Structure 1
């Protein structure tokens, strides 16, 4: 049986690798065709463009990892079925469960790689991918902004900005409040706050400070003031991809800090965290579904299996996206949103596997 195991395992891994090598260049070509005008217009250095597409490759692969695997398993298993190789295996006394073992071994290898990719490599790639996009590819009129940021920095300090533009490191209508023993000690207002990276300080324009001491109020006004504050620039950066750029340990610390600050985006961050665990599990589920669907020789040949498989893949993506958005935009539990597609398709996998055995 070792010959059978190695034969299927090699086909499993080789076809998956070929699927990645086929679709990733297509994705890069499509993305480059869309963005080449902006890249040339902004005179982006070749080294930065090359690094962007390296990050794009990791980001793109991590995003579509389960679908690539699903289609590759359907492809080569359908070929085995059309060549009646599966019939020969099962006719020799091999049970369907035993026939499935090399697939599960392959799924374990791929799931381990996907786990490492999602925990450590994809966050680094996402950081570079998003930084390049906001630096060079966003038009000034479409610069992404964080709106109405109100954050608790620590037990005594709160900040507010009406808008923050990450590309310019600029915030508007800034307010800073400092409390001691639940009593407001001073409050700072500014029309603008800009982060000066070279000096690691913040520059406030139209500065106004109101201090309160034993019922006496004092007011300070300045046209421009440079100050240091106990908060990081990332406290004002876009929430859309903040969690994606952190390794798992950093993400846990980030979520804990955001909960203490009362952030309204905890659902979005929880979805990112839970998907790092659900992705490897989905690889096993989709592998079983793919084998169950494509191990039977059908009258329509490989095309029928591929059509059926693509339909299942699209339904899976639909469930994953819909429930993910629900968790990000409402109080819908993140754990339900992330794991519900796996539970539903896990039940489907068991049903299809039982039918395939019969």
Structure 2
């Protein structure tokens, strides 16, 4: 555990230094207050520490166990009649502590840090980049109402080619069209340009037209254009409610939200898997010493991150099942962990 904590204390300041060196120019250009920078790096630390916990523990276990192997302490330990499973027990206890903390962090603290981290980034560092879905926005607002906007501009709070549909059961009761929709903040309403409403009652259609009309709708501006990192900023209970609501609305971002939810559970499990791999790889004394074990460990870590990122992106941007994308790296490396552990026992 001490090695793991030292690894955190060493790598977190390095990460902050690298990030600050990259972004200090934009911070000075935008006159960012020092207090906001300090809170940003506090959020930065929690946000990335949560994501990198498994890799930090993996490298620290390799480092610590390689030192034991080089000093022939592991051979002496096992020669005294102690089983490899007993030798592995302290590592698993340490992994349980780290996994429990990572689970708590991912469920409750990391969402708070993610909110501050992303808000700062898009407020000061990516001013001209939208974090909202702005093209072909289609949402089911509730059990009866659907909306569509072909193009939405968050800066002006306006959109083009707006459609609103209201159903009762399977029957369309009325449909509203507008060339342009604009949010009127003082009235919490929407101004529609080239307004057209078609109503249907017992097979009879009535048409209402106006050049401009202000209408109250049963949805908020945030419902119309959810931010892309919305799921990351919610605690686990809030996230479940959010995903359920987005499914009812027919949101196209369900894959992304499901990935965020499932990773809260898969990340603590990966801590156990990577710990077993690290012990199995580094418990054998090799001619190249600690350097060979570290090189092998870093290669495994890079492959794990590659699998995790590739499958995560596939789930976010396609119909690829999120549960497969999130758990596939753990399954593959879990099999590898069992294989390496059996070899190490021999």
Global fold match (TM > 0.5): yes
Matched, 1:37 2:9: no
**For the residues of structure 1 that align with 2:286 and 2:222, how far apart are their CA atoms?**
55
Kindly state the Cα deviation for residue 179 of structure 1 after the two structures are TM-superposed: 3.4
Match of residue 344 from structure 1: 332
2:319 matched to 1:331?
Answer: yes
Compared CA separation, residues 256 and 169, structure 1 to 2 (3 A): same
5+ residue gaps, structure 2, are: none
5+ residue gaps, structure 1, are: 1-12
2:173 counterpart residue number:
184
Q: Rate the CA distance shift 1:90–1:320 in 2: closer, same or farther, 3 A.
A: same
2:194–2:209 Cα contact (<8 Å) kept: no
Q: Deviations over 1:105-138 (max 9, x none)?
A: 0010000000001111111111111111121111
Partner of 1:134: 122
2:276 is matched with 288
Name the residue aligned to 2:288.
300
Contact kept? 1:79, 1:302, Cα under 8 Å: yes
1:216 lines up with 2:206 in the alignment: yes
Using a 3 Å threshold, how does the CA distance of structure 1 residues 220 and 247 change in structure 2: closer, same or farther? same
TM-score (norm 2): 0.91
Q: Post-superposition shift, 1:168?
A: 5.7
After superposition, the Cα gap between the structure-2 partners of 1:238 and 1:156, relative to the gap in structure 1 and judged at 3 Å, is: closer
Deviations 1:69-126 (A, max 9, x none): 1111111111111122222222222111101000000010000000001111111111
* Change beyond 3 A, Cα 1:185–1:278: same
Within 1, Cα distance between the matches of 2:104 and 2:87?
28
Within the alignment, does 1:118 sit opposite 2:106 as a pair? Answer: yes
Report the Cα offset of residue 204 of structure 1.
Answer: 2.7
Of 231-240 and 92-101, more deviation after overlay is shown by: 231-240
How has the CA–CA distance of structure 1 residues 24 and 296 changed in structure 2, closer, same or farther, with 3 Å as cutoff?
A: same
Structure 2 counterpart of 1:5: none
State which drifts further: 183-192 or 60-69.
Answer: 183-192
Alignment correspondent of 2:69: 81
Alpha-carbon distance between aligned partners in 2 of 1:195 and 1:289, rounded to the nearest angstrom: 58
Q: 1:51 to 1:168 in 2, by over 3 A?
A: farther
Aligned counterparts of 1:205 and 1:53: Cα–Cα separation in 2: 43
What is the distance in 1 between the residues matched to 2:155 and 2:124?
A: 9
> Which residue does the alignment assign to 2:344?
356
Give matches, 1:1-358, under 5 Å.
Answer: 13-140=1-128, 142-146=129-133, 147-166=135-154, 169-181=157-169, 182-189=171-178, 191-194=180-183, 196=185, 199=186, 201-204=188-191, 206=193, 208-212=195-199, 214-222=204-212, 225=214, 227-238=215-226, 240-358=228-346
Kindly state the Cα deviation for residue 190 of structure 1 after the two structures are TM-superposed: 5.1
Structure 1 residue 336: deviation in Å? 1.3
Tell me the distance in 2 between the aligned counterparts of 1:328 and 1:264: 9
Q: Secondary structure at the match of 1:215?
A: strand
Distance 1:236 1:70 in 2: 42
The equivalent residue for 1:4 is none
Taking the aligned partners of 1:152 and 1:323, their CA distance within structure 2 comes to 28
The 3 A distance-change label for structure 1 pair 37 and 331 is same
Q: TM-score, normalised by structure 1?
A: 0.88
Please say if residues 190 and 217 of structure 2, whose CA atoms lie closer than 8 Å, have aligned partners that are also in contact.
no
Task: Report the CA distance between 1:161 and its aligned residue.
Answer: 2.1
Task: Let me know the Cα RMSD of the aligned residues.
Answer: 2.1
Q: 1:122 to 1:233 in 2, by over 3 A?
A: farther
